[in-house]
Amino acid sequence: KVIPDKTAAYVAYGGQETLVEHVEVLVHKQLIWDTASAGQVPLGAVVGGHTSDGEILYVGRTYHEGSQTIGKVQCSHNCIYIPYGGAEVSVPTYEVLCER
């Protein structure tokens, strides 16, 4: 969750919702959101990072408790992880940010 007026964001990390004070926002005209679930990612999925073991994490978003939230798709766990209520919450259905 990005907090524009504070130049900060909350991210899901280590089972918790963690405040990060240095954030970068990706802006690109050729990006779309594509529906996925259960650890699947569409062709052209945008890489958002890696786990400490080297597994690729993808940029995703999902609805939870009436709010759309950005998170990390971890294919081996068959879900997206989002920051919510001080915790890292897993959701099995999501959209993945993809290059057209």
Q: What is the pLDDT of residues 33-82, one digit of tens each?
A: 999 988 889 999 999 999 999 999 999 999 998 888 989 999 999 999 99
Boundaries of every domain in the chain: 2-99
**What is the pLDDT, as a whole number, of residue 17?**
79
The residue type found at 60 is: G
Q: In whole angstroms, what is the distance from residue 22 CA to residue 94 CA? A: 25
Alpha helices by DSSP H, the chain? none
